[in-house]
Chain A
Amino acid sequence: MDILRTDKLSKWFGGLCAVKEVSFSLVKGEIMGLIGPNGAGKTTLINLISGVFPPTNGNILYQGKNITRLKTHSLNKMGIARTFQIVRIFKTLTVIENVLTAMVNRKTYGPWSLAWGSLFKRSGAFTDNKDACVKAEELLDFVGIGEYRDELAENMPYAFSKRLEIARALATRPEVLLLDEPSSGLNPKEQNDQVEIIKKINQQGTTIMIIEHVMKVIMEISHRLIVLHYGEKIAEGEPEKVYSDPKVIEAYLGGDADA
């Protein structure tokens, strides 16, 4: 069962083709790895799927609906969440506030209804909301940073801020989670923790698409792999098969595969 499908997706930046006619489908419940050498268009592909910018050509279907030109915030409301290669947490908020702000029901409440509602509620209605706080704490514990609850996000060690970003994405209760290099810049111990977290998220039923450079990580957690090279999909399939595919080896090592 496909949850997300792209159909000949292309993105041109001026004369540069960053993603070229990429078609793939994401099966509900799987972890799909997206790999490729630097500049292969991996992040561009994630940006296209998460609505950062529209594709030049092609379509994206999510649960049967065409979502090609929807913006990031609309896609999030439909169940597609993401993290970023370079963390984009809310620095001046506390750790738990980072998660709480993601838990606001934005499908039902826009800015005006939130603003108007705030005038008639008791002040601090947000942080006093016990249910929301309990859930936010659960999420923080889930990624293992519960003890930093009231710390300012900007004071968090790098590895933990990456986990906070995952917790924040999970707070929006996504069906599909797009992870852009979740273990970049982490040491081997931290990478292992990250793998465990991603596996746990997947076991709870969330479909995951992950960009990763660390081969050990990607081989361990992916059910399937897609390889991009100069914007084109050059291989797809089970990790072991893709790993030994001559085209993939050539893309990574360059030159002739036999050499």
Chain B
Amino acid sequence: MSQDKYNKLWKALGIAVLFAIPLVISDRYFLHLMVMAGIFVMLTSSWNLLTGYAGQINLGHAAFYGIGAYTSALLVMKVGISPWIGLFMGGFVSAFFGLLLGIPSIRLSGPYLAITTIGFAEILRLVAMNWVELTRGSLGLYGIPPLTAIKLSPGFSIEFTSERNFYYVLLIAIFLTLFCFKRLVQSEFGITLKSMRDDEPGAESIGVDTTRYKLAVFTISAFFAGFAGALFAHYQRLVSPDTLSLGETFTILTMTMLGGLGTLAGPVVGAILLTFLSEGLRFVEDMVKLNVRMVIYGFLLIITILFMREGVVGLFSHYRRSGDTGQ
């Protein structure tokens, strides 16, 4: 019981610190990094549900991110809907594509599925690149409206153009996302995903309709990735075909592997660590005049796979083995 109370205390303290950060640190660059880390937390967590928990290797996750970003941006710019609704539309359209990509997963698995998902993302990237009338091609969509201000009273409204205010929106989005993933993973649904990941014929033999589970988990994962993409679109206010690239997926993959695949805390830790590390490496790149970032990513990935399969989170859970909660 007291252990439980301690945990609650730590959680409350953590949340308080997260909410207090923009009040204490006003450096816009730092807050920008926090926002980017936050968007990656949503992306890595959604990828982790699909690949870490359900075992469906998806190397086209950036496609969902891009679909969410483009969908929301285009709907807001061309149709004129509110960006707030755009966020959810980004999620839903991405979820629909998730369902579509889920179909090949019924028959394919492992490397075959991985290659299919790469193809899926590449096709979409080429569409975004070449459908110039709609997407402005490689120039990207620019001038995407920010999230509309919330009017509290005449003369006083909350704008979402500043890093600080956006940070709060994102923080709430992340809490909701992680809450959903925690509940999903620690339930009958989650244990079924893990069963399917461990042994598909075994899961079938206890009545798991693996086809429907795969479709469901692709859809759910894509929804959250799309939502993250839409948030990004209205924050950065620029979306280019690069968001759909394989490089983006590999960033997500490296973050998750580094943090700990198939744990709840892993993707969060990995996303924050790598976001700040890669910014730090920018200075190194300027000094040595070489693109060392990808080299270091690759190196970290190899180290993780060779020496710490369970990632950074796995290193700590040696001290307190609390199953897969990783909290």
B-binding residues in A (CB < 8 A): 50, 52, 71-74, 76-77, 81-84, 88-94, 97, 100-102, 104, 106-107, 109-112, 114-115, 117-119, 121, 123-127, 168-169, 171-172
- CB contact between B192 and one of A72, A88, A104, A172 (< 8 Å): that residue: A104
B190 at the interface (CB under 8 A from A): yes
- CB contact between A126 and one of B188, B198, B199 (< 8 Å): that residue: B188
Query: How far is it, in angstroms, between the C-alpha of A127 and the C-alpha of B322 when the chains are bound?
Result: 13
A161 to chain B, nearest CB (A): 11
- CB contact between B220 and one of A97, A115, A126 (< 8 Å): that residue: A115
B179 to chain A, nearest CB (A): 8
- Chain B residue nearest to A91 (CB atoms) is B198
> Which residues of chain A have C-beta atoms less than 8 A from B207's C-beta?
73, 76-77, 102, 104, 106-107, 172
Query: How far is it, in angstroms, between the C-alpha of A77 and the C-alpha of B208 when the chains are bound?
Result: 9
How extensive is the interface on chain B, given as a class? Answer: 20 to 34
How many cross-chain pairs have Cβ atoms below 8 Å apart between A and B? 126
25 CB contacts below 8 A, A to B, read A73-B204, A73-B208, A73-B209, A76-B205, A83-B205, A88-B199, A90-B195, A90-B202, A93-B194, A101-B194, A102-B207, A104-B191, A104-B207, A106-B208, A109-B188, A110-B209, A111-B213, A118-B183, A118-B184, A121-B183, A123-B186, A124-B187, A126-B187, A126-B190, A127-B186
A26 to chain B, nearest CB (A): 18
Query: How far is it, in angstroms, between the C-alpha of A115 and the C-alpha of B216 when the chains are bound?
Result: 9
A230 to chain B, nearest CB (A): 26
B206 at the interface (CB under 8 A from A): yes
A-binding residues in B (CB < 8 A): 180, 182-184, 186-192, 194-195, 197-199, 201-210, 212-213, 215-217, 220, 262, 323
Query: How far is it, in angstroms, between the C-alpha of A172 and the C-alpha of B206 when the chains are bound?
Result: 6
> Which residues of chain B have C-beta atoms less than 8 A from A84's C-beta?
201-202, 205
> Which residues of chain A have C-beta atoms less than 8 A from B194's C-beta?
90, 92-93, 101
- CB contact between B187 and one of A88, A118, A171 (< 8 Å): that residue: A118
> Which residues of chain A have C-beta atoms less than 8 A from B209's C-beta?
71, 73-74, 106, 110-111
> Which residues of chain B have C-beta atoms less than 8 A from A93's C-beta?
191, 194-195, 198
